[in-house]
């Protein structure tokens, strides 16, 4: 390390302190919230039957881990999310490529895509149950329906934004539309694809939980609905906390993939 | 000797919903093998359009363009094209950028690759072969772009203001550099530029186009009394100034 001037050292210390402060504040906010919740429930400021409490949630969590039922619920939700995400990636990129390759087709389909994208997908879920039955397939389709149309539109817009001069370069080198795609459009869209997918994995989770609300025997969405119907609100709150953690982990996973890919 | 390229009475219009714009009107000239031709004209007069026609990216509407007797096809392998910017792809290394054309044409033969190797060595890019474009200076990047074009062994090279994105000092150096390389490789070339000095310093003949719809206003052969003609040395040739004035006057007459 080179010698730093006192002013530079002071600046760096200041930056570091600020970082610590933010991190500690975050942790305290979380712990403070839990503490307040717990005390409010014990002192009966709030009705612990409907608001539950952190300790009750923790106990339920431990209990359900012991009888191993929780893993099945988490596992199925996670699996459905990942499968629908994989389909969204494949179908999203595939459709966007198709639209890019046939400008006429994309012009024809544009209004339909916009409508499908703006449509609240939860409205589709009851229909999907009837059409496809109350099974895993329906839930995967429900997960896909939330993320697919938006990602097609975003990917297609990104593909079209490829530098026209670079496409001309490919043509002057004797390349075809396929070369434009594989040499320019796809490689230049890698950062875009990754950032779109980062958003989409969360959307898939949303769709999967909506699907589980209506047509499942297992999964965290089922747990939430079952819990609310039998007034086991501790179950509901625990499932929500687990969903938060899953969403965070999935996002962090793709964030890591993005950082790794872009660094190369 | 037969001309390499013949352009006979070429006209072209752009069509948009709001109307038709005549871009080129009755352009005729020819190009001998080994000759370096510069095309100057006011901006927006259709210089780049002319190059797009010659390399077959745009279909000819009226008139004929013949390259060794046959009309050029889109992406014609006989023609190399250098665009305004180097357009090196950031996600490829310099080496993989340089072989891009060979890759597209599926000509990654040992013979062509060894030719690329030689050019990389001759033009000082060998030690940057695994670097990415952003790590290179503007001049180096242009060299890499030139090697990418020359790797396909084109008979005719089209240069569409290839130095216009560079700052002035780099621009003089790079045009000198590229000019020397093209003379050494004995390439036939057409340079499109709006820079009169650049045209005179590099070309054997300068074609002056008028404002739109562009027609050939004048063709000026450049003869400089120099022992060794390089683009930089040309700028200090005694005839340079009078050529400059001649072309300058011709360009402004047409306004």
| Strand, helix or coil for residue B165 | coil
Contact B75 A163 (CB under 8 A): no
Q: A190: nearest CA in chain B?
A: B91
Half-sphere exposure of B133 (CA within 13 A, CB side): 17
Nearest-Cα distance to chain B for A162, in Å, is: 12
| Strand, helix or coil for residue B247 | helix
Facing A171 at nearest CB: one of B74, B84, B89? B74
The secondary structure of residue B93, as a DSSP letter, is -
Q: Does residue A140 have a cis bond before it (omega within 30 degrees)?
A: no
**Order of strands, edge to edge, in the sheet holding B36-40?**
B79-82, B156-160, B188-193, B36-40, B205-209, B216-221
Contact B87 A166 (CB under 8 A): yes
Q: How confident is the model at residue A264 (pLDDT cuts 50, 70, 90)?
A: low
* pLDDT of B233 over the 90 cut: no
Q: A191: nearest CA in chain B?
A: B91
Mean pLDDT of B182-203: 89
- Please choose, from the candidates B36, B50, B43, B47, the residue with its C-alpha nearest in 3D space to the C-alpha of residue B221: B36
Q: A262: nearest CA in chain B?
A: B91
Q: How confident is the model at residue A2 (pLDDT cuts 50, 70, 90)?
A: low
The per-residue pLDDT for A171 is 92
What is chain A's length? Answer: 264
Contact B75 A173 (CB under 8 A): yes
Nearest-Cα distance to chain A for B203, in Å, is: 23
- Please choose, from the candidates B178, B172, B169, B176, the residue with its C-alpha nearest in 3D space to the C-alpha of residue B147: B178
* pLDDT of A209 over the 90 cut: yes
Facing A172 at nearest CB: one of B75, B85, B89? B75
Mean pLDDT of A158-187: 93
Sign of CA dihedral A121, A122, A126, A129: positive
What is chain B's length? Answer: 255
Mean pLDDT of chain B: 88
* pLDDT of B165 over the 80 cut: no
Contacts of B101 in chain A (CB under 8 A): 173-174
Q: B149: nearest CA in chain A?
A: A173
pTM, to two decimals: 0.84
* pLDDT of B255 over the 60 cut: no
- Mind listing the pLDDT tens digit for each residue in B117-138? 998 998 888 999 999 999 998 8
Residues 6+ apart with CB under 8 A from A190: A261, A262, B91
Nearest-Cα distance to chain B for A168, in Å, is: 9
Report how far apart, in Å, the C-alpha atoms of B215 and of each of A234, B32, B83, B170, B234 are. 83, 20, 23, 32, 28
Structure tokens at B175: 């045009």
Mean pLDDT of B10-26: 87
* pLDDT of A182 over the 90 cut: yes
Q: How confident is the model at residue A57 (pLDDT cuts 50, 70, 90)?
A: very high
* pLDDT of A221 over the 90 cut: yes
The per-residue pLDDT for B254 is 54
Contacts of A188 in chain B (CB under 8 A): 89, 91
Burial B54-65 (b: 16+ CB within 10 A, else e): bbbbbebeebeb
Nearest-Cα distance to chain A for B244, in Å, is: 31
Contact A171 B91 (CB under 8 A): no
> What is the complex's ipTM, to 2 decimals?
0.86
The per-residue pLDDT for A194 is 92
What percent of chain B stands above pLDDT 70? 99
Q: B152: nearest CA in chain A?
A: A173
């Amino acid at each position: 390390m080179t010698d730093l001037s006192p002013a530079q050292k002071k600046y760096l210390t200041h930056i570091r302190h600020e970082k610590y402060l933010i991190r500690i504040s975050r942790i305290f906010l979380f712990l403070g919230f839990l503490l307040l919740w717990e005390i409010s429930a014990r002192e009966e400021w709030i009705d612990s039957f409907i608001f539950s409490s952190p300790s009750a949630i923790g106990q339920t969590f431990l209990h359900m881990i012991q009888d191993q039922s929780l893993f099945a619920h988490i596992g199925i939700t996670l699996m459905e999310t990942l499968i629908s995400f994989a389909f969204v990636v494949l179908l999203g990129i595939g459709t966007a490529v198709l639209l890019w390759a046939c400008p006429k087709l994309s012009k024809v389909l544009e209004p339909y895509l916009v409508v499908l994208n703006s449509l609240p997908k939860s409205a589709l879920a009851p229909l999907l149950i009837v059409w496809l039955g109350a099974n895993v397939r329906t839930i995967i389709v429900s997960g896909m329906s939330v993320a697919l149309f938006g990602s097609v539109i975003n990917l297609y817009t990104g593909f079209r934004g490829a530098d026209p001069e670079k496409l001309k370069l490919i043509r002057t080198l004797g390349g075809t539309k396929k070369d434009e795609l594989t040499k320019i459009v796809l490689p230049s869209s890698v950062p875009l694809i990754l950032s779109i997918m980062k958003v989409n994995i969360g959307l898939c989770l949303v769709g999967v939980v909506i699907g589980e609300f209506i047509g499942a025997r297992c999964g965290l969405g089922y747990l939430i609905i079952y819990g609310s119907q039998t007034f086991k609100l501790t179950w509901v709150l625990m499932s929500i906390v687990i969903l938060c953690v899953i969403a965070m982990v999935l996002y962090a996973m793709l964030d890591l993939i993005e950082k790794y890919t872009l660094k190369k | 000797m037969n001309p390499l390229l013949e352009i006979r009475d070429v006209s072209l219009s752009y069509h948009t919903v709001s109307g038709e714009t005549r871009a080129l009107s009755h352009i005729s000239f020819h190009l001998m093998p080994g000759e370096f031709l510069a095309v100057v004209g006011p901006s927006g007069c259709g210089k780049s359009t002319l190059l797009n026609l010659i390399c077959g990216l745009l279909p000819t509407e009226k008139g004929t363009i013949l390259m060794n007797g046959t009309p050029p096809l889109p992406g014609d392998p006989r023609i190399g094209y250098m665009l305004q910017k180097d357009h090196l792809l950031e996600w490829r290394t310099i080496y993989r950028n340089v072989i891009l054309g060979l890759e597209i044409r599926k000509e990654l033969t040992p013979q062509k690759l060894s030719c690329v190797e030689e050019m990389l060595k001759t033009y000082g890019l060998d030690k940057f072969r695994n670097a990415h474009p952003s790590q290179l200076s503007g001049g180096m990047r242009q060299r890499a772009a030139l090697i990418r074009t020359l790797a396909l062994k084109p008979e005719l090279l089209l240069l569409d203001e290839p130095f216009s994105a560079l700052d002035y000092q780099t621009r003089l150096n790079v045009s000198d550099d590229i000019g020397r390389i093209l003379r050494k490789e004995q390439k036939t070339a057409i340079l499109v530029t709006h820079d009169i000095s650049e045209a005179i310093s590099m070309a054997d003949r300068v074609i002056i186009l008028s404002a739109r719809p562009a027609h050939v206003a004048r063709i000026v052969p450049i003869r400089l009394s120099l022992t060794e003609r390089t683009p930089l040395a040309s700028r200090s040739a005694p005839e340079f100034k009078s050529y400059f004035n001649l072309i300058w006057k011709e360009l402004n007459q047409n306004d």
